[in-house]
Amino acid sequence: MLVVIPSQGKSNCMSKYLKGDVKMKYIVSGKNTEVSTALRERAIKKLSKIEKFFKGDAECHLTFEIEKNRHILEVTILSKGIFIRAEETTDDMYASIDAVIDKLERQIRKNKTKLGKRIYQEGVIPDNFLIDENIEEESNYKIMKSKRFAIKPMSVEEAILQMNLLGHTFFVFSNGDTEEVNVVYKRKDGNYGLIEPEF
């Protein structure tokens, strides 16, 4: 199931929650579950409190997933080259919504100074980063180690094998089918993901 709620106007389901235009475009999908209207509205209502940080053409992707008793919500916000992602798992989807919104807010607030710099201002609204809450902000990103290594062409399956043999949670490689640099990574659920950059 995929539901798209466009930006620049109130959707019917959100009109009672949001004042003014809906800034972000919401794309809602479910894996192994049907996302009810009530659940969708609850998530978007909660997310509306962080819309103020982003400009009007931002997109917010919400993926609801149920695996046995695990209720998983993954939220990714894209705004002019900025990607912010959070995922939470609880035994109740409404609790997962609350937890993932809290995590997103903390990520934004911990990095508010860097996000407010000119290089990111196409995607965010710096004036809205004036926050009174006492959250320790990361002032410097300290790189403790740097590695250089040759990238050889291989299949996705071979890259996953190599990653597992190294005991890593991600692996950078040249995709033998596309001749592009890709990244495979291990997900929290034990499955694997593939990142294919677009230029």
Residues carrying CATH 3.30.160.100, the chain = 2-129
Half-sphere exposure of 27 (CA within 13 A, CB side): 8
Model confidence pLDDT, tens digit, residues 8-37:
444 333 333 333 444 678 999 999 899 999
Q: How many Cα neighbours within 13 Å face the side chain of 129?
A: 22
Match 């990142």 to its residue by tokens.
Answer: 195
> Residue 43 pLDDT > 50, yes or no?
yes
Return the CATH superfamily for domain 2-129: Ribosome hibernation promotion factor-like (3.30.160.100)
Class of domain 153-195: alpha beta
In this predicted model, what pLDDT tens digit does every residue of 54-113 receive, in sequence order? 766 788 999 999 998 899 999 998 877 778 888 999 999 999 999 999 888 888 777 766
pLDDT tens-digit profile of 151-187? 888 899 989 988 887 788 999 999 998 989 999 999 8
Q: pLDDT tens-digit profile of 111-140?
A: 766 665 544 555 565 555 554 455 455 556
Every domain of the chain with CATH number 3.30.505.50 lies at 153-195
- Could you give the CA distance from residue 99 to residue 110 in angstroms, rounded to a whole number? 16
Question: What are the tokens at 99?
Answer: 């937890």
94 phi and psi, to 5 degrees?
-65, -35
Whether the Cβ atoms of residue 35 and residue 29 lie closer than 8 Å to each other? yes
- Residue recorded with tokens 């609350």: 98
At residue 2, the pLDDT reads: 59
φ and ψ of 28, to 5 deg: -110, 130
User: Burial code of 151-160, b = ≥16 C-beta within 10 A, e = fewer?
Assistant: eeebebeebb
**DSSP label at residue 127:** G
**Does 199 have pLDDT greater than 50?**
yes
